[in-house]
Amino acid sequence: MAQLRMIWKNDGVRPCELVFPDGVELKTLPEIEGGVDAWLDIVGYMESTHTDFTGNYDYYHKVMTANKDYDENKCFFLLVDKKPVATISVLCDYETKNGYLHMLSSLPECRGKGLGKLLFAVAINTLKREGMQTAFLTTDDWRIPALKTYLKTGWQPDLTSQPDYPERWQKIYDIINGGKRMKTVKDKYLVVGADFAGYPLKEAVVAHLKEKGWKITDLGVTADSDPDDTENMFHRVGLRVGAQISEGNFERALLFCGTGMGIHIAASKCPHVHAGVVESVPAALRAITGNGVNVLAMGAFYVAPSMGCDIADAYLNAELGSGYEWWYNFYEFHKLAIDELEAFDYEKYKANGFKMEHLGDYPLKLEKKPE
């Protein structure tokens, strides 16, 4: 059975700055004494189930040096306390501008500690620096943690190269999230919710969006809701909608209550929710372009129906960084903030003396848009 194949496309964003934890170093194969032996030791834990794995230099030659695009200076290792524990190789075809990620492996005791994700980021940076426009990798169906990382970092399944790929990928989605695929803005899917105060504004915005072809799932007050149903209190609606983001069912949501405040606070209690409340089109645009808000709330006491429709259009037709390509580091700076907030763990933050563990750093200064 052929391995699964995944595809990456260069988004044009500059390579990110990586921060390595204390005791962790990045080196290439020539920089490590006995580099090939270290490579065989690490790869052996992943490849020993393959019938062609021999654990000697012949195997290294067969899968690495025999490839015309292999460069030992792009065979990377992460070392923990001077010991090589993980490796990945980046192969670059400079004629076609196609890259290939090869032999991502780590020692068992180092899995689940974020090292594979860090090494993967090193590889993506290398692809960008070398000018690759597209890249590929192959992997096995059973490598679920790795597949999750690939999907989260923008790699897309190849569903066409083999006739059994669609069925195999569906089984993987079944394992990852119960077979449910995220309903995305690109495909015009949206989840909404309102309490009784926000209901009139929600109805106006939903009617407007449906005319434009949006497919709406409403988890709050509807026309036939019982006014005495306490399940439709603002915070309970906010939690219901926020959970849809947490579970990966929807990419974005709209919420409505009297002020937008209470319902967005409730949604923010759900993991992976980045919520904001706005009352104008410029604020809605900045909420998504600068803060990557995936749940946007409005208040019916302060936002007129026509303004609510304009806010929804602006929000749903933009994404992180869009419209700010002229501003140096705008996307990188704000993406870093989102990533650090997504990774935030209060107990770790407290134990670290209330200091944030940086995932990177990008300089940013105020700039005026060119005429």
Looking at the annotation, which residues are catalytic?
257
Half-sphere exposure of 4 (CA within 13 A, CB side): 25
Unique residue bearing structure tokens 């995936």: 294
Question: Is 354 exposed, middle or buried (CB count within 10 Å of its CB: 0-12, 13-18, 19+)?
Answer: exposed
Per DSSP, the chain holds a count of helices (H) and strands (E) of 12, 12
Contact 158, 5 (CB under 8 A): yes
Give CB contacts under 8 A, 24+ apart, made by 100-104.
100/69, 100/135, 100/136, 100/137, 101/135, 101/136, 101/137, 102/63, 102/64, 102/67, 102/70, 102/137, 103/43, 103/63, 103/64, 104/137, 104/146
Contact 173, 180 (CB under 8 A): yes
Structure tokens, 165: 């790929």
Of the candidates 125, 156, 144, 173, the one whose C-alpha atom is nearest the C-alpha of residue 13 is: 125
The span from the CA of 155 to the CA of 153, in Å, is 6
Structure tokens, 33: 């004494």
